[in-house]
Amino acid sequence: MKIEDVRLQINTPLPNQAYPPVMARFTDREYLNIVYRTDADALRAVVPEPLQIDEREPLVRFEIMRMNEVTAYGPYTEGGLVVPVTFDAEPGEYLHSMYLDSFPATVAGRELSAYPKVIGAPKLYVDGPTLVGTIDFGTLRIATATMGYKHYELDKRDAEAQITVPTFMLKTVPGYDGAPRVQELVRTQISDVVVKEAYTGPARLQLFQHALAPLADLPVLEVVSASHINTDLTLAPVKLVFNYLTEEMR
């Protein structure tokens, strides 16, 4: 393969690339969101500056997303924790951790942008009158969420506002000497979205201790709200907002 042809490739291995070089469209992307109050000191320990948490209201959003139809990738499920933050006075969310059951979607999310994705086994399903979301890491359960199935309709504008807030992510790529070659804070925001259904209801969340998947380090002190949302959407590209290797903290 000639050098000019190599330069056209966006990922490896060249004969069988790890993920497709196309923009994915999500149809019937289904969310289970549970917002809970946690310990402020625990949040401060994991949210990177220059992002700021709300000291008076230390919240976390647990999410499970079932991708029922995704162009190029096929169906998969992911879940993890998201933290409300501000950056330059703009409210948003920091993606703290994400667990997926799709290798192509995991690698694409990390390489093409900065989604903090690792392989796991999340599930979202209906158990009688209950919507259930779980995450396993290896053979062990690290999260179980339950919500009353479609108890009360949620205003679709409120549902859209929940999933279209600015999202911030940290990307670190080491060089061959082990030192960071890339270390950046990036921002993205979903704008191309159609909310089909939205509900709220009673919810509970359990997080379990695990040395390598420490979701429980952000303990559940009180469940604040819950939502179950079905959407069609396209993810937006990310934009650099802070370079840790060249910028000074303001």
Active site residues: 117
CA angle at 116 for the pair 97 and 204, rounded to the nearest 5°: 20
CB 109 within 8 A of CB 70: no
* Terminal-residue alpha carbon distance, the chain: 46
Instruction: Supply angle C-alpha 42, 47, 50, rounded to 5.
Output: 140
Answer for the pair 72, 20: CB distance below 8 angstroms, yes or no.
Answer: yes
* Rg of the chain on CA atoms, in Å: 18
Amino acid identity of 177? Answer: D
Residue 119 region by backbone torsions, left for phi larger than 0, else alpha for psi between -120 and 50, else beta: beta
3-state secondary structure (DSSP) of residue 24: coil
Burial class (CB in 10 A: 0-12, 13-18, 19+), 200: buried
The span from the CA of 142 to the CA of 121, in Å, is: 10
Count of residues in the chain: 250
Distance CA 92, CA 4 (A): 40
Strands 90-100 and 117-119: parallel
